Amino acid sequence: MKPVKVEKLMINYKTLEKFKHFKEYGNQELSMLEDLENNLVENQSDSPFYGIYIGDSLIARMSLYKVNKKYDYYFEPRQDYLTLWKLEVLPEYQGQGYGKTLVDFAKSYNLPIKTNPRINSHGFWEKMGFKKAQYEMERDLGENPLIWMPEGVKEKPVVK
C-alpha cells in the first residue's frame, strides 16, 4: 500500500452522500443530515469523522471522540481518552492496511482508546493491540469494550 493521508471529514452534503456507501450508515449520519437541512450548516469543521480518500472516493472512515477525564472509569490515573467507532473500510479496499492506517492515526494522539467492536472484528482489534477491558461499567451494556493503552498508562483493576 502506498502512503495515504488520513483527513478530517467536513460535515457537509458531499460527505454525507459518500457515507451512504458504508454498511454502518445510520442514526448519527441521519442526525447530521437533519442538522444540515435545518440550519443550512455547510462544512462544519468540528466533525468527529476522519477518512481516507483514493482520488475522489472515500474508501475508509472512522469516528473519533475525545472523552474528558471526569467521565473516565477505565484508566488509572483518570485521564482524557478517545472513543473510536464506526471504523469501516469499503469491501473492495479491505485487507490492504487502510483500517490499520486509521487506527494508527488515532494512536498518534497518545491517549488511551476505547472501542466497542462489531461482531467478527475482534481479530482485527487484537492485531492492533487492543485488549478486553478489565473494568466493565454498567453503562457499557454488555458491549464488551476493547481498549488500547499507550506506554505508561495502566488500566484500573478489575472491580467485582
Query: Which residue is it, cell 473516565?
Result: 72
Note the pLDDT of residue 25.
Answer: 52
Multiple choice CATH, 6-155, 3.40.50.10470, 3.10.310.30, 3.40.630.30, 1.10.3720.10: 3.40.630.30
128: cell is 492492533
89-101, pLDDT tens digit by residue? 999 999 999 999 9
127: cell is 492485531
Cβ contact 84:99 at 8 Å: no
Which of 1-5, 52-56, 120-124, 130-134 has the highest average model confidence (pLDDT)? Answer: 52-56
Task: Say whether 80 sits in a helix, a strand or coil.
Answer: coil
Spatial separation of the C-alpha atoms in residues 93 and 61, rounded to whole Å: 12
> Which carries the bigger pLDDT value, residue 153 or residue 29?
153
Note the pLDDT of residue 94.
Answer: 92
Spatial separation of the C-alpha atoms in residues 130 and 114, rounded to whole Å: 9
Q: Residue ranges of the domains in the chain?
A: 6-155
How does DSSP assign 132-143, residue by residue? E-SS--GGGTT-
**53 falls in which pLDDT band (50, 70, 90)?**
very high
Note the pLDDT of residue 40.
Answer: 42
Note the pLDDT of residue 97.
Answer: 95
Cβ-Cβ contacts under 8 Å for 47 (sequence gap 6 or more): 8, 9, 10, 11, 15
| Average pLDDT for 118-140 | 77
pTM for this entry = 0.76
